[in-house]
Structure 1
Amino acid sequence: MLIEDQLIELGFEVVGPAATASQAIALCEDEHLDGAVLDINLGGGQRSDPVAEWLTRQGIPFVFVTGYGQAGVDGRFGHAAVLQKPFTLPELRKVTWEHFG
Structure 2
Amino acid sequence: MTDAPLLSGLKILIVEDDVIIAEAMSDSFVRAAATVIGPAFSVRQALGLIGETRPDAAVVDINLNGELAFPVADRLRADGVPFVFATGFDASEIPEHYATIGHCSKPVDPAALAEAFSWLNRKPL
Looking at structure 1, the residues matched to 36 and 50 of structure 2 have their Cα atoms a distance apart, in angstroms, of: 11
- Alpha carbons 1:41, 1:66 under 8 Å: kept: yes
What is the percentage of aligned positions where both structures have the same residue? 30
Higher relative contact order (CA 8 A, sep 6+): 2
Residue in 2 that maps onto 1:9: 31
- Mapped to 2, the partners of 1:17 and 1:93 lie a distance apart of 15
Higher strand proportion, which one? 2
Q: How many residues are aligned here?
A: 99
Q: Which has the larger Rg? A: 2
C-alpha separation in 2, matches of 1:19 and 1:89 = 17
CA distance, structure 2, for counterparts of residue 52 and residue 68 of structure 1: 15
Higher fraction of helix: 1
Where 1:94 maps in the other structure, the secondary structure is helix
With the length of structure 1 as denominator, give the TM-score of the two structures.
0.85
Q: Distance in 2 between matches of 1:26 and 1:4?
A: 19
Structure 1: unaligned runs, 5 residues or longer? none
TM superposition score normalised by structure 2: 0.70
Structure 2: runs of 5+ lacking an equivalent: 1-22
CA-atom RMSD in angstroms: 1.7
